[in-house]
A and B are shown apart, each in its own frame.
Chain A
Amino acid sequence: MAIKTFAQAINEALSIAMEQDSSVICYGLGTDDPKGIFGTTLGLQEKFGPERVFDMPTSENAMTGIGVGAALYGLRPVMSHQRLDFALLSMDQLVNNAAKWHFMFGGRRTVPLTVRMILGRGWGQGPTHSQNLQAWFAHIPGLKVVMPAMADDAKGLLLSSIYDGNPVIYLEHRWLHNLKGEVPAGDYRVPIGKARTLREGADITITAMSYMTIEALRACDFLAGHGITCDLIDLRSVRPIDWDTIRASVRRTGRLLALDTGFTTGSVAGEIVARMSTEYWGLLKAAPDRLAMPDYPEATSPTLTENYHIRAEHVAAKVAKMVGAKSDVLELMPQRNHPHDVPGDWFTGPF
């Protein structure tokens, strides 16, 4: 299998979908600019022409409704937002039209619309360029919401989103674009609504999504070296949530830590904690808990985010506490050699 970055995997998924299906169109601010939305749309316009791949007016709400109309005409639009924060301008069309059309007309029509939104954290993105609002979309009946963490899932979930008969919100974390992994060739699809167990263990169930899965992996691998083994479930879809996989794991481990890239209150993690507490009250060995962003906007200056993000060390500490381990193992955790607010040395901005 070829090794590709998360961004290349997205580009490949778009290219394959457009190659094999002339109804797929792709648009959004910056789609055909020299940067090509962090590399994800590079080369598409050259291959498929300006009618199917185009930049758009700064009109997020109408362009979403235009996607709904195009989908109703039989196209499969893929719309991209370089920041989720800008997609907030389109909540009316997403919630009142895209999410409702199939239901409110008695199942007469479907709206196969994919909306990519990029979210992130750190590097001064600040209060309005970094928000992880997956819970907003996951709250809406009629939308599907996916949040890949790995390059192969980035491709497989995007192809599944494009060919789904429903509006799908495809959330990609800026800190994942350069992450590499093995990516299957061709029209590779990952089912929406199925989680992926990345580490198997006996002591605790950890659920995570998107970039938080990467921090969780570091934590799990460190803890495993100290005799604490975790079931790490990468949710991949936050609507629908793969409850069967979470249930099976929690029944086995009796402990649950739900991680989230979004704000704590009203988070997807909160929903997972609530449901598992309700269903498995009697068999839980410890109170389920969650780690998510503080209920404050993210600030810009690097010192103001020092204690803001959830990182692997926080996950490891929380797990150690929940399983009753001595917490001094944490002192052994290797410190990263790059600043806390970038995904790696490669990241130098400007956005």
Chain B
Amino acid sequence: MNQTNDTLLLQQMLRIRLVEEEIAIRYPEGKIRCPTHLSIGQEAVAAAVGLALRKDDLAVSGHRAHAHYLGKGGNLPQMIAEIYGKATGCSGGKGGSMHLVDESVGFVGSTAIVGGTVPVGVGLGYGIKLKGTDQVSCVFHGDAVVEAGVFAESVNFAALKSLPVLFVCENNLYSVYSPLHVRQPAGREIWRMAQGMGITARHCDGNDAAAVYACVTDAISSIRAGNGPVFLEFATYRWREHCGPYYDNDIGYRSESEFLEWKARDPIPRLEAALLRDGMISHADIEQMLDNIRSEIAAAFEAADAAPFPLAEEAFTHLYAQ
């Protein structure tokens, strides 16, 4: 198999999917003791954006950030250890699932307050502009973020100063259990809001990994060329409950049939089928890919499980930088 962008894209999506599924399987064991938001169903955006960005580009995200962290190249064992609350975690156990960081690959941080990192990403963009590098700052966020005042404030400043910021909006239709129609007026197109604020904006099927990749690559070229920020909205869907490992189509806020419709648009088999059809990859290649990913994941969980917890005294460190 030749490694092409498309096969890498598939590999990244599979890796994110299998990591999240393993977390879902292990969650009931009770060793993961923090709110955990899975990205199953939404892998295409994280994989494609991560692949399109350079390692020295920067990214920030929100509460559902595992996929963004992994897509950007974040260290897997350190993420799993963080979710397990271990000393070897990327935040030393102080952050958990919602506070991931791996600065070695430009993942500056994910935080838990909806919209909280949007201005942080724009501030990184201001730093980039002042320093004069051609880096891009990527802000991952969901559809609820555009309802927060800080979003409008941040987009306004990014537009005002023509900052190198890529806004990536994953519209998965729900904020916890609240559907879009109780949060935003009928007919709202989120990307048009951003456009109306003066920045280049596009929308695209977030479950078509190749299309996402093409869309993001265009946006990044435009940003690097100095044309200012770009806003991209991707339609996608989270398969599992808002927070936790289970399916929740039975509790009444959405329907099984809606879920099945989106499941039929699973981004992974869609790309797989295209690659198989075009002879870019074989079934044996995919099996090999899966084997490699599975052993990497097994090793990460084993290491996290075996790693020491931080000492109780560690709770009273890192209040202030010296």
A binding-site residues for B, Cβ under 8 Å:
25, 51-52, 56-57, 59, 61-75, 92-93, 96-97, 100-110, 112, 141-142, 144, 165-166
Contacts and interface: CB of A to CB of B under 8 A. Distances in A.
Interface string B83-121: 000000111111100010101000011011100111111
Interface residues of B, number: 47
B116 A165 contact: no
Contacts of B41: none
B317 interface: yes
Contacts of B318: 102-103, 106-107
B127 A65 contact: no
Contacts of B320: 102, 142, 144, 165-166
A72 B99 CA distance: 15
A109 to B, nearest CB: 7
Contacts of B91: 104-106, 108
Nearest to A103: B318
Contacts of B90: 105-106
Nearest to A65: B119
Contacts of B157: 56-57, 59, 62-63, 66
A69 B119 contact: yes
Contacts of B130: 25, 51-52, 70, 75
A28 to B, nearest CB: 13
A299 to B, nearest CB: 30
A62 B154 contact: yes
B187 interface: no
Contact of A73 (B111, B123, B150): B123
Contacts of B127: 69-70, 72-75
Interface string B282-322: 00000000000000000000000000000000000111111
A109 B154 CA distance: 22
Contacts of A92: 113, 116, 150
Interface in B106-157: 108-109, 111-113, 116-131, 137, 149-150, 153-154, 156-157
Contacts of A69: 60, 108, 119-127, 137
B124 A73 contact: yes
Given A97-B111, A101-B109, A65 B317 contact: no
A71 B322 CA distance: 16
* Residue among A52, A67, A101 having the largest count of chain B Cβ atoms under 10 Å: A101
Contacts of B273: none
B94 A68 contact: no
A70 B89 CA distance: 25
B193 interface: no
A61 B149 contact: yes
A106 B95 contact: yes
Contact of B95 (A105, A141, A142): A105
